[in-house]
Structures are given as C-alpha cells and as structure tokens.
Structure 1
C-alpha cells in the first residue's frame, strides 16, 4: 500500500466527483487513505457544495433538480448502512405503516429492525433508530409480508378498518410470486394469517 500521505489528493477528489448523484458514501469507504486526509477532502467537498454531511461519518452526493438540492431518502440511507454493515434492515412501527401506504402520516422518527448493531442516527431534523430484531422478523422471503407483519403489529388487530383491508388486498394482488407469498403467509402470526389468507384466493 502506498504511503498514506503520498497519495495524490486529486485522486480521492476525482473518485468522489465521478460517483453518481444520489449516492451515499461513508468516511470509512476509503481505508487506503489516512482517516484525517479523507476527513479533510470530505470537508472541502462539503464546503464546496458537492457533498452534504447527513450524519456523523455519512455523506450524500445530492441530486440537483429544478426545485433545488434533493437528498437521498431515509430508506436509501438506512439500506446503505445495512450493506456497509453486512446486515439486514426492516422498517417497523409507523415506518412500516407509512411504507405500505397504511398511514399518510410522515414519521418524524424512523424505526428499523436490524440484524446488525443498534444505533440512533440523526439525519437533519429526523431521528433514525435501528433496533436489534429477532431472527423471526427476517424469515420471510417477500418484502411485502415482512412489512405487513411489522405494520399489523403496530396497527393492532382491533384498529384494522375496511380501508386498511382494501389497501392490503391491493398489495397482495400485485405480488407476482404467489407460491412464495403463500409460504410466507403460513408463517405469519395466527391472527394475521386469519386476515391475510382469504385474500390469496379472492
């Protein structure tokens, strides 16, 4: 490996400049450079407006639209963290309800279950909480059922209305892999299975 101080600074800048818009990068993405050097380059690019620091050690290369600078979504940031940590993540609570369209309320705090380490990240004015989830939460093959289990758990059986059932029915009908869907539904908690199973043949 080259000496950490002898690497041309332009090389790191060029690498970051060549990255696509809407991407997320971490200070730890460049282990071949000295950490202080990486920090100074990221700081310079942030001052210049090419990057936006969205949390400690996490940067985004924003997309420019006619409405101004657009940052990656919270979900995209969380997915990037999961990839970096070699972990799985799953929206839970209000975040899961929102992801499925079962709630129009945009959460101020986002909650995710993870197979990685627990942490709380402050993204601008929003808090993202990653909580350790039990393996059972990650046993489903379809993202829809993984999300539905979390959403229904948050909604609670007594609060499920006709409008919610209609939305769930539409989501089920759009799922193309029916065989995998049936297997997933069979693994749902009993009370959820009683609600969802009739929708498979509707």
Structure 2
C-alpha cells in the first residue's frame, strides 16, 4: 500500500468518525473495510485530540461538550450498544436493578449488569460499568419486569421487603401489559419471591 493511499484512507476514516453524532458508541471492529492498523491509529489520534474517549478495550464513545465538561452517553445506551454488538442479552443486577425498578433512589457508583456475552469493565468519568457473565436461568423469563424483579429482590433480601417495597412492586405488576407471560414468569421465581409477588397478580 503506497503512502498516498495510506493518507487518503486514514483521512476518510477520520472524517467518517468526526461526522458521527455526539453520544455515539463505536467499536474498533466497526470498520472492517479498513486495514486494522489504520483503524487503531486513527482511533488513537482522535482519542488524543479529545474527539473520542476510550472506555474499554476496543470500545469508544463520542461525548458531548457542555459548560460542565464532557457528557458521556447514558449507561443504558452504552450497555445496549455492547449487547447488540455481542449479540448478547444484558440484565441489570444488584443496586442497578433496584434503582431501575424504583425500589431504591440511591444512584449506584458502579453499575452492574449480567450478560450472556463477554465480561468487561467500562470506565466512565466517575464510575464503572461492570458486565459479568450470568447463568442461563437469569435470562429464562419472558417479561423484563420479572427478570429485573428477581435480581432486585435477591439484592434486597426477604427480610428487607417492607410495605414501601410492596407498594412499588404492586404498581409495577399492575402496569405490566403481558399478563399471560407475567403469570408464567412468577411461577418460575424463587419460592419466597413467588409468595410475595403472586398474590399481587390475583388482584390485577
């Protein structure tokens, strides 16, 4: 490959990336039509100049600039982009699941997700996103609500489920449109969770 072709190819790739909208999530593997060395050096150059931020091996974001500094894409957007790329399922776990369902107002410092894809840790400005392999039974539910509720209740633990939590769960159950699969999923929940949630289905 001659030097002229090298310059043209690299410039074209750079312009393509610079033209991407802010909040974009991109992967080193997104550009298979270019030589791997060109992709790597171009991504490195754009990272050095602040156009991109590297958040994990082979994963970059294009943040927005604000008067308060760089604003990254949302955690959910980043995680979903990785899931699509990996052809994997992802599911919030731990405090992230509690926060997602409104069972906790505490914003987690670290966001944790179960995945059927590769494990990785993503470093954002002041927190981390941790994707760890989940066992298949975590992904056996048809409704996202029950899959999330199992993770949330597992973190909360049975003795800590009080009246306030009952009210939140009851409202979530009442708003779930897929009542047929909801009933089947509740039957698949661990015993103590099923005893809490199933009576709520009868009243909806």
If the TM-score is normalised by the length of the shorter chain, which range does it land in?
0.7 to 0.9
When normalised by structure 2's length, the TM-score is: 0.86
Corresponding residue of 1:156: 157
Corresponding residue of 1:114: 115
Q: Contact between 1:95 and 1:111, CA under 8 Å: does it hold in 2?
A: yes
- Equivalences, count: 199
* Runs of 4+ residues over 6 Å off in structure 1: none
Corresponding residue of 2:34: 33
Corresponding residue of 2:170: 169
1:78 Cα shift?
Answer: 1.8
Residues in 2 aligned to 1:126 and 1:56: alpha-carbon distance in whole angstroms: 17
Equivalent positions of 1:106-145 (< 5 A) are: 106-145=107-146
Q: Contact between 1:172 and 1:200, CA under 8 Å: does it hold in 2?
A: yes
Flag structure 2 segments of 5+ consecutive residues without an equivalent: none
Flag structure 1 segments of 5+ consecutive residues without an equivalent: none
Corresponding residue of 2:72: 71
Corresponding residue of 1:13: 14
Corresponding residue of 2:98: 97
Q: Contact between 2:56 and 2:121, CA under 8 Å: does it hold in 1?
A: no
Q: Which moved more, 1:22-31 or 1:136-145?
A: 22-31
Considering fraction of residues, name the structure with more helix. 2
When normalised by structure 1's length, the TM-score is: 0.87
Residues in 1 aligned to 2:123 and 2:64: alpha-carbon distance in whole angstroms: 21
Over aligned residues, Cα RMSD in angstroms?
2.2
